[in-house]
Structure 1
C-alpha cells in the first residue's frame, strides 16, 4: 500500500509542475517533496523527467496519476454513501415481493423524478431472499409478508394486501364446479394463496391440486394475461390486480371471509436509516395510504 502523503505530494507536483510550488501548497520543504518522489520511484520506477521549464510524466507516472484520481473518486463516492445529507447523491435500495413491487415501482420513479440525485435500485424477490438481502446490507429496505423474528431487523407495518379470486370478465362462480370448469392459472405462490382463500369461500373443497391447471407463469405481471384471455382463474394479491392494464377483461369474485396479508417494512435495527431512505419510507406510506 503506497503512502497517502507521498501520493498527495506527487499529485500536487504534477498539477503545479514545480517542486517549489508543490512544497508551498503542502507547507513542506522542497527536500520533502523530492524525498516523497524518490520513495515512490524506488517502488514504481521512473515517474517524472525533470526539464528546465517543468517536468514530464513517464508512462509509469501517468499510470500513477490515473491511480491517484481513481482513489480520489472512490473517496468521494464513499463519503457520499455515508453522508446523512438528504440532498447528496445516493442510492436507495428496496427489495420486495412482486405484487407490491409492481404497485410501488411507479411511485418510486415519481420519487426519483422529484429527487434527481437519488438513484432507485429495486428488485423483486420472495420473503426469504428479502430478509437475507437486508441482513447482508445489499438493500437498505425490504418488504415481506411475514414479520421476521430476528433481533437484527426492525419491522413495521406498511400496508395490507388482500388476496383476490380473479376470473375472466363475464364469468360467474357459484360453487366449486365453476372453478373446475374455468381451470386454474398457477404461479409460484399459487397453490398456497388459492388454498388459503378458497378454503374460506368453499369449505370442505378437495383442494386446488384437484383443479385442472390451465397455465403457469413465474412473472407476477403476466399471470393475469391468461385470465384476461379467458384461459382460467387465479388467486393473486390485490396490488398485482390493481396495476394490470387490461382491467376490463378480468373480474374479481367478491364474497366470503377475506384473507389479508400484512406487508412489513424491514431494515437493519442496529443503525439508523440514511435520511434519504427515511424520507422514502415516509413518501411510500403517504402514497399507499392515499
Structure 2
C-alpha cells in the first residue's frame, strides 16, 4: 500500500500545479514534496511532466489521481456507514413478535418504496429471541411486550396493543355459555391471553380450559382463519386482528374493561442508534399510531 502522505502531496500538486504552492498548502518544504513524488514515481513510473511554472500529469499520473479519488470516496462511504449518518440509505434490521410484525412489515415496504436506498430485514420471533437478537447485534431494533431490565438495552415505549375477543361475524356472544357453545381456537399464547381478557369480561368464569378446543394454529397470520369459518372464537392482539384481510367474516366483541399491553422498542445502549434506524422507527410509530416516538 502506498504511503498516504505521499499520495496527499501528489493530489495537492495535481490541483495546485506547483511545488511551491503545494508545499505552502501542506506546510512542508519543496524538497519534502519532491521526495514524496520521487518515491511514487519509483514505484509507478513518470507521473509528471515538469515545466518551469506548471506541472502536467502523464497518463500514469491521471490514473493515480483517479485512484486517489476512488480511495477518498471509499473512505467517505466507510465513515458514513460507521456513523450511520445517512437516514435514507442502508439496511434496516428489525425483529418483532408476529402480531405487531404483521402490521409493521407493509409499512416497512412502503418506506422502502419511498426511499429505495433502504434495505429491509425483518424477522418474526417471540420476546426472548428478540432480546437475544438485539443483544447479540444480529438486529439493530427490536420490539418486545415486556420492558427488559437489562443495562445493555434501551427500551422506549412504542405503542399500546389491546387484546381482542374475536368471534365469527354471525355469532352472538352475550354470556360465558355463548363462548362455550362456540369453542376455542388456540395458539401458542392463546390460553394466557384468553385468561387475562376473559377474567375481566366474564368475572368468575369457569376458566378457558373448561371450553372445548376446536383447533390450534401456531402461525399468527392464520389464527383467525378458523374463526372466520365459524369454528370457534379466539383472543389475539389487535394488530394481528387488524392485519387479517377478510375482516368482514369476523367480529370483535366489545365487553368489559380492555386488557392493553405495551410494546417496547429496544436497541443497544452502548453505542448510538444509527440515523436511519431513528428515522424508520419514528416513521413506523407515526404511521402506526399517529404519535411521535421519543427515542433516548
Tell me the TM-score normalized by structure 2.
0.72
Provide the secondary structure at the position in 2 that maps to 1:284.
Answer: helix
1:44-81 deviations in whole A, cap 9, x for unaligned?
A: xxxxxxxxxxxxxxxxxxxxxxxxxxxxxx98986554
Unmatched segments (≥5 aa) in structure 1: 7-23, 35-73
1:129-176 deviations in whole A, cap 9, x for unaligned?
A: 111111111111111110000111111111100001000011111222
Provide the secondary structure at the position in 2 that maps to 1:28.
Answer: helix
Task: Tell me if the contact between 1:163 and 1:258 (Cα under 8 Å) persists in the aligned partners.
Answer: yes
Determine the C-alpha separation between the residues in 2 that align with 1:25 and 1:216. Answer: 75
Task: Tell me if the contact between 2:89 and 2:276 (Cα under 8 Å) persists in the aligned partners.
Answer: no
Between 155-164 and 170-179, report the one with greater CA deviation.
Answer: 170-179
Determine the C-alpha separation between the residues in 2 that align with 1:101 and 1:80. Answer: 29
Deviation at 1:89, TM superposition (A): 3.6
Determine the C-alpha separation between the residues in 1 that align with 2:80 and 2:150. Answer: 29
Cα distance 1:243–1:263, how it changes in 2: closer, same or farther (>3 A)?
same
After the TM superposition, which residues 34-45 of structure 1 pair with which residues of structure 2 at under 5 Å, given as runs?
Answer: none
Deviation at 1:257, TM superposition (A): 1.2
Q: Which residue of 2 is the match for residue 182 of structure 1?
A: 182
Residue 133 of structure 2 is aligned to residue 127 of structure 1: no
Deviation at 1:116, TM superposition (A): 0.7
Provide the secondary structure at the position in 2 that maps to 1:271.
Answer: coil
Unmatched segments (≥5 aa) in structure 2: 4-34, 46-73, 291-296
Deviation at 1:281, TM superposition (A): 1.5
Deviation at 1:5, TM superposition (A): 5.1
Q: Which residue of 1 is the match for residue 17 of structure 2?
A: none
Determine the C-alpha separation between the residues in 1 that align with 2:134 and 2:254. Answer: 36
Q: Which residue of 2 is the match for residue 93 of structure 1?
A: 93
Determine the C-alpha separation between the residues in 1 that align with 2:38 and 2:184. Answer: 77
Cα distance 1:271–1:205, how it changes in 2: closer, same or farther (>3 A)?
same
Q: Which residue of 2 is the match for residue 258 of structure 1?
A: 258
Q: Which residue of 1 is the match for residue 162 of structure 2?
A: 162
Residue 211 of structure 2 is aligned to residue 211 of structure 1: yes
Task: Tell me if the contact between 1:80 and 1:88 (Cα under 8 Å) persists in the aligned partners.
Answer: no
Task: Tell me if the contact between 2:91 and 2:118 (Cα under 8 Å) persists in the aligned partners.
Answer: yes
Aligned residues: 235
Determine the C-alpha separation between the residues in 1 that align with 2:269 and 2:209. Answer: 41
Cα distance 1:172–1:222, how it changes in 2: closer, same or farther (>3 A)?
same
Task: Tell me if the contact between 2:88 and 2:115 (Cα under 8 Å) persists in the aligned partners.
Answer: no
Cα distance 1:83–1:27, how it changes in 2: closer, same or farther (>3 A)?
farther
Q: Which residue of 1 is the match for residue 15 of structure 2?
A: none
After the TM superposition, which residues 102-113 of structure 1 pair with which residues of structure 2 at under 5 Å, given as runs?
Answer: 102-113=102-113
Task: Tell me if the contact between 2:103 and 2:239 (Cα under 8 Å) persists in the aligned partners.
Answer: yes
Determine the C-alpha separation between the residues in 1 that align with 2:36 and 2:112. Answer: 41
Between 232-241 and 81-90, report the one with greater CA deviation.
Answer: 81-90
Determine the C-alpha separation between the residues in 1 that align with 2:145 and 2:88. Answer: 32
Q: Which residue of 2 is the match for residue 192 of structure 1?
A: 192
Cα distance 1:174–1:80, how it changes in 2: closer, same or farther (>3 A)?
same
After the TM superposition, which residues 1-290 of structure 1 pair with which residues of structure 2 at under 5 Å, given as runs?
Answer: 4=1, 28=39, 81-86=81-86, 89-290=89-290
Tell me the TM-score normalized by structure 1.
0.74
